[in-house]
Structure 1
Amino acid sequence: MITLSPQFPPLIKGLAAGPANPLTIAMTEAEKGTDAGLLVWSINDQRLRAALVLAPEEPLSRATAGYIACSVGLQNALGVQAPPETAVHLEWAGGVRLNGAHAGALHLYASTANSDEIPAWMIVSVELSISLPDSVVVEPGQTPDWTALDQEGCGDVNAVELLEAWARHTLVWINELDEPNGRATLYREWKGLVWKLGEQTSAHLPGERVAGTFLGVDENFGMLMKLDDGKSRLIPLTALVERA
């Protein structure tokens, strides 16, 4: 069990969850009106879990750009910590891929699902596999759709330092969104990291799976997909908002 306390930048307040679910604690604190920047975390030998509380000042349809900022922040943190040959990609719907295989995911929660309403709070949670369970005995590359850091040559990555790096990079991108061209800057960074852009793929939404060709996104990072039946569909990023 990892017990070292991470050091976070100003505006980020860490709270160790121990074996508890960080998301549950973050939601409880958000409902109480905690300040933005609360980062609840839990790390053991097999996985890293964390939940960051945000306090948007825009309607949900635009505030969800903060979710993209957190995603890019995680990719940047992994890009620094992992060996340079490790490919780290982000699925539009939140999945995190290492060398093409699933290694974790980000999830989005908010106090409202109304895209026109300013949320009282928004939470982005992260779960990342550090190692596969002891019950799974495989050689690297034998589980192409399910992997972990140690299966992809990242066994030396320090999970506490990775969490610290995620907080730092995420804060940079969230602050970037306050700049006049911040959303465009974030988009340019994200575009080079997103999985299967311009290709056939599928998006796993809460209660639905959508398949087709990923054509691009709109100004609020909504996914434009050409469905397998030839029709086009715009899926707003707010479709990813999950219930507790």
Structure 2
Amino acid sequence: MTDPLVFPPMMSGHAVSGVSDAFATAQAKAAMGCDAGLIVYNLGANSLSAALVFAPEVPLSRAMSMLPTCEVGFQNALGALAPPEVAVHLEWGGGIRVNGARCGTFRVAASDPNVDEVPDWLVVGFTLPLWPESDRPGDTPDATALYAEGCVDVEAPRLLEAWARHTLNWINRWEQDGPRSLHEEWRGLAYAMGEEVSQNGLIGTFMGVDENFGMLLRDDEGTTHLIPLSSLLETL
């Protein structure tokens, strides 16, 4: 029997199993009025997925900062549990990179896509592959899984608990001190900053982010485009 999961105060857990989608389940529970701080999770044999429910008190344009907050919390959690030589970075679009290869992704949804309104709820979730889908990793060199990158001692339940703790720490810092420290931490973990990327149909150099974590993308003609973080919102 595995030990029960332990989450920080003001957070609670709800386990799903099998093919159940933690992200969709969290959205459904949020729509039904569950308490903020609920973590819906699925500890699968080959993957870990989880989603955290928020009840924002600020307009969606600012509340979207909970996406990079959760991402930084994940990086800090995995960084603390994985061997020191394992590098963990974050794509602006939600992708997780482990030792340079794609290893899971973050997703975000809200009750209302209007960036000027305070949404009833916001859900941020992630899926992390634990084992490769194929025994021929060379066929997909840009995709990997956690245990293929020297992290076999990282237990999924402990990683999930650590994600909750580190994310709560960053939520508190964001509420108390504003976004500056989160910006500094995220910039140091951002993948492909200063390089050419493709995002939302645009191609250009990833120059950084604005105060609300919108992507600043400079094209070949020297025009800088702002891609708002809200463009990553998913709908049921």
Instruction: Verify same fold: TM over 0.5.
Output: yes
Residue type at the aligned position of 1:128? L
- Match status 1:220 vs 2:217: no
- Match status 1:16 vs 2:15: yes
Structure-1 residue corresponding to 2:191: 195
If the length of structure 2 is used for normalisation, what is the TM-score?
Answer: 0.95
The whole-number CA distance in structure 2 between the counterparts of 1:228 and 1:151 is: 37
How far is 1:4 from its partner?
4.7
The whole-number CA distance in structure 2 between the counterparts of 1:217 and 1:123 is: 22
If the length of structure 1 is used for normalisation, what is the TM-score?
Answer: 0.92
Q: Match of 2:179, SS?
A: helix
Structure-2 residue corresponding to 1:54: 54
Pairing 1:94-105 to 2, within 5 Å after superposition: 94-105=94-105
Instruction: Give the number of aligned pairs.
Output: 235
How far is 1:142 from its partner?
6.0
- Match status 1:158 vs 2:155: yes
How far is 1:193 from its partner?
0.2
Pairing 1:135-150 to 2, within 5 Å after superposition: 136-138=134-136, 143-150=140-147
Pairing 1:173-212 to 2, within 5 Å after superposition: 173-179=170-176, 181-203=177-199, 208-212=200-204
The whole-number CA distance in structure 1 between the counterparts of 2:209 and 2:143 is: 27
The whole-number CA distance in structure 1 between the counterparts of 2:220 and 2:146 is: 34
How far is 1:138 from its partner?
2.4
How far is 1:23 from its partner?
1.5
How far is 1:143 from its partner?
3.3
The whole-number CA distance in structure 2 between the counterparts of 1:3 and 1:226 is: 50
Structure-2 residue corresponding to 1:167: 164
